[in-house]
Amino acid sequence: MATPASARTKIACYIKREKMVKICCIGAGYVGGPTMAVIALKCPSIEVVVVDISIARIAAWNSEQLPIYEPGLEDVVKQCRGRNLFFSTEVEKHISEADIIFVSVNTPTKTQGLGAGKAANLTYWESAARMIADVSKSDKIVVEKSTVPVKTAEAIEKILNHNSNGINFQILSNPEFLAEGTAIQDLFKPDRVLIGGRETPEGQKAIKALRDIYATWVPEDRIIATNLWSAELSKLAANAILAQRISSINAMSALCEATGADVTEVAYAVSKDSRIGPKFLNASVGFGGSCFQKDILNLVYICECNGLPEVANYWKQVIKINDYQKTRFVNRVVASMFNTVSGKKIAILGFAFKKDTGDTRETPAIDVCKGLLGDKANISIYDPQVTEEQIQRDLSMNKFDWDHPIHLQPMSPTAVKEVTVTWDAYQATNGAHGICILTEWDEFKALDYQKIYDNMQKPAFIYDGRNIMDVEKLRKIGFIVYSIGKPLDAWLKDMPAVA
Ligand SMILES: NC(=O)c1ccc[n+]([C@@H]2O[C@H](COP(=O)([O-])OP(=O)(O)OC[C@H]3O[C@@H](n4cnc5c(N)ncnc54)[C@H](O)[C@@H]3O)[C@@H](O)[C@H]2O)c1
């Protein structure tokens, strides 16, 4: 798509440089789309073009129905699109014209060859870097936005500099810390912006150029400059530590169930310690999302490659507990229903990996549904933001295949016939034996559970995988309730599940 020359006017938010600035972002995904939209909003005189190899994705960014759901995103995009924010499939053209290139492409876990199941597959990154080298005719700052293994910048630098034709490339690492569901707020008010660069005068100049852009709306003391490797590792470390907190409280939830303690009370008491704090201490069916597992596996691989098996095993355990939690949940469901769900209708409320997003990548719902399907359940799913096509795709795809550009994802041609998807929670639960709440959507708290109970098979079960329900109220209606890490119903005590 052509961009008007008028958009490339004076750079108000980049005044410390005399040259006009044009940004190109490679990868119009969950990170590239929202981050670039916010830069365009905050810096109206910088031209920002987001490019992607997926024609469908770019078409969606240029339409009324954006390809991702994020509260506030539509508003930001509508304010800037066509003004100084553009979405295009003309990858080469916009790379060649840009001064600063953000790379925000997929970095899936390798499924074959060296490091399979752990190491990051840098195919898309490398092809983006080679494209930059091929088409560049002027000096450029190349910014790693994707989460990459430590020392990727060094590899990218080699690709660029060996193919540079005299052009100067400065590589920066600027990992993204936004959380899906609150991405726009996180981008408006980040806890910190981290910029890693070379400790040379040119590297420092590049850091300053990027810092000046963020400083338009981010307080200076929240913009941290480090060296490249520290920036790359900080992103992996942050995600590993966040995931570790979830696995820690989830491990406690199993112990709470065994002993009669209440995990919410334990978490509250623990969180009052100012050294610990309250965030990421909600027990649940497990963490999901595109990053946590992938980044920890990546970290594990790096530790192993650096001869640190003890450190690798420590982080591996965070993922093991997460898998254990999902298995434990499925076992509770099956065990409490007389040890079989064969032929029984189980309603799934919520498929996204968290509320306020339609993202289903690594959602625990996939493993829970697969576990129930393994016991021959019939599943009826309702999620306010996830389509039937996406759910069928998720349930028929191999692990890690989701993390490739959508048109390159291998797809099983057959839908899972034991799964139905509806746009109505009451329809999903009608005639069901049990309900599993797998995403903490607010609307699930406001459903008419008396009506739902009346239309279910008896005994009627609710398994709250997010601890959002008023358990006592549900028990009064007549439900048998399982809520993670909470004291068990007598029924569940009598039907122990072995995880
Ligand atoms: N999703 C998050 O919350 C989050 C947060 C922080 C960091 N990250 C990291 O950011 C990166 C991107 O994540 P995402 O969630 O936006 O992924 P995504 O799959 O939503 O988007 C990546 C996009 O890159 C495109 N692409 C791949 N190769 C390309 C190429 N050579 N040229 C042009 N386009 C290309 C794909 O078509 C896709 O649209 C990953 O490394 C991820 O780990 C993600």
Q: Is residue 262 part of a domain?
A: yes
- Nearest residue (by CA) to ligand 1, atom 21, is 29
pLDDT grade for 152, boundaries at 50, 70 and 90: confident
Same domain, 293 and 202: no
- Nearest residue (by CA) to ligand 1, atom 10, is 146
For 54-85, the pLDDT digits (tens) are: 999 999 999 999 999 999 999 999 999 999 99
Which atom of ligand 1 has the smallest separation from the CA of 294? 43
Question: What spacing in Å lies between the alpha carbon of 455 and ligand 1's midpoint?
Answer: 43
Contacts of 63 (CB under 8 A, 6+ apart): none
Same domain, 270 and 366: yes
Residue 498: predicted pLDDT: 61
Q: Is residue 234 part of a domain?
A: no
Same domain, 298 and 179: no
Q: Is residue 77 part of a domain?
A: yes
Distance of CA 342 to the CA centre of its chain: 33
The answer, yes or no, to whether any atom of ligand 1 lies below 6 A from the CB of 47, is no
Which atom of ligand 1 has the smallest separation from the CA of 31? 16
Q: Is residue 213 part of a domain?
A: yes
146 is in an annotated binding site: yes
For 186-209, the pLDDT digits (tens) are: 999 999 999 999 999 999 999 999
The answer, yes or no, to whether any atom of ligand 1 lies below 6 A from the CB of 128, is yes
pLDDT grade for 2, boundaries at 50, 70 and 90: very low
- For the ranges 101-115, 203-217, 294-308, 322-336, the lowest mean pLDDT is seen at 101-115
Same domain, 428 and 295: yes
Q: Is residue 312 part of a domain?
A: yes
Q: Which of 24, 25, 26, 30 is the best mutation target for the ligand 1 pocket, counting ligand atoms within 8 Å of the beta carbon and taking the most?
A: 30
Same domain, 349 and 465: yes
Same domain, 124 and 249: no
What integer best gives the mean pLDDT of the chain?
92
Same domain, 213 and 284: no
The answer, yes or no, to whether any atom of ligand 1 lies below 6 A from the CB of 85, is no
pLDDT grade for 9, boundaries at 50, 70 and 90: very low
Same domain, 15 and 69: yes
Say if residue 441's pLDDT is above 90.
yes
pLDDT grade for 412, boundaries at 50, 70 and 90: low
Same domain, 151 and 270: no
Contacts of 361 (CB under 8 A, 6+ apart): 288, 289, 290, 353, 402, 403
Question: What spacing in Å lies between the alpha carbon of 167 and ligand 1's midpoint?
Answer: 26
* CATH number of the domain residue 162 falls in: 3.40.50.720
**Residue 439, domain extent:** 239-494
Same domain, 475 and 350: yes
- Nearest residue (by CA) to ligand 1, atom 44, is 31
- For the ranges 113-117, 275-279, 315-319, the lowest mean pLDDT is seen at 113-117
For the purposes of burial, counting CB atoms within 10 Å of the CB of 326, is it exposed (0-12), middle (13-18) or buried (19 or more)? Answer: buried
- Nearest residue (by CA) to ligand 1, atom 36, is 405
Number of domains in the chain: 2
Same domain, 369 and 448: yes
